[in-house]
Amino acid sequence: MDPGLTPSQTVGPFFEVGLTGKQSIGRVAGPEAAGERIFLTCRVLDADGVPVEDAMLEIWQADASGNYPSAKNSQRQEHAFRGFGRLGTAEDGRCIFETIKPGRVSGPEKVLQAPHVNLNLFARGLLKHLPTRIYFAGDPANEEDPILGLVPEDRRATLMAQPDPGQSGAWYFEIHLGGDCETVFFDV
């Protein structure tokens, strides 16, 4: 029997009523979580470079050892590592996650993946959400990452968060929905 997959529809402009607001999670790793603490600023721009003020970002990442949270520990534990974050963007298209840099997760053919954060982007005008990944510029593991290897070399930079040289632990990831530097999105 094939029951038939339920189709996707846009999250629309009013998702804050149900999904963000008090259901937001900006702190993906609480103070007790081990690892290198980072503040990951994401900014969403449309094809014309206009900030998207009504997007929702959901992220999912491994802990510093490269393990994804189990069912038991990814719940609302304020102090520990949750692995999941959800924020709406502000007027300037930005939101900031407090987390730790993820470790390396196993990949296809037993090759370890480079540290990355999985991202689902939702917005008015997106009839289905857009999956992408955030990697960390300058990480030597990026060279051998099996997923980055599937991305044409000239577009890999769109998947790199950049460190803020003036602020330790601050990283910046820009998402371009279109235009010359359109971010790579994945068919998952």
Of 134-163, which residues contact other proteins (CB under 8 A)?
A: 146-147, 150-151
Q: Considering only the stretches 32-40, 45-53, 90-98, 164-172, report the one whose residues sit in contact with other proteins under the rule CB under 8 A.
A: 45-53
Q: Are 123 and 11 a contacting pair, CB within 8 Å?
A: yes
Size of the site for other proteins (CB under 8 A): 75
Q: Of 18 and 166, which CB lies nearer to other proteins in the complex structure?
A: 18
Q: Are 142 and 150 a contacting pair, CB within 8 Å?
A: no
CA distance 11 to 13: 7
Q: Of 170 and 184, which CB lies nearer to other proteins in the complex structure?
A: 184
Give the other-Cβ count within 10 Å of 23's Cβ.
Answer: 12
Q: Of 16 and 174, which CB lies nearer to other proteins in the complex structure?
A: 16
Report if residue 23 touches other proteins, rule: CB under 8 A: yes
Q: For 19, how many CA atoms within 13 A lie in the half-sphere containing its CB?
A: 17
Q: Using CB atoms within 10 A of its CB, is residue 137 exposed (0-12), middle (13-18) or buried (19+)?
A: middle
Q: Of 131 and 170, which CB lies nearer to other proteins in the complex structure?
A: 131
Question: Out of 36, 65, 125, 138, which residue is the one contacting other proteins (CB under 8 A)?
Answer: 125
Site string for other proteins, 59-98 (x = CB under 8 A): -x-x-----xxxxx-xxx-----xxx-x------------
Q: Are 64 and 36 a contacting pair, CB within 8 Å?
A: yes
Report if residue 110 touches other proteins, rule: CB under 8 A: yes
Report if residue 43 touches other proteins, rule: CB under 8 A: no
Of 160-179, which residues contact other proteins (CB under 8 A)?
A: 177-178
Token pair of 179, please? 């235009």
Phi/psi of residue 174, nearest 5 degrees:
-105, 130
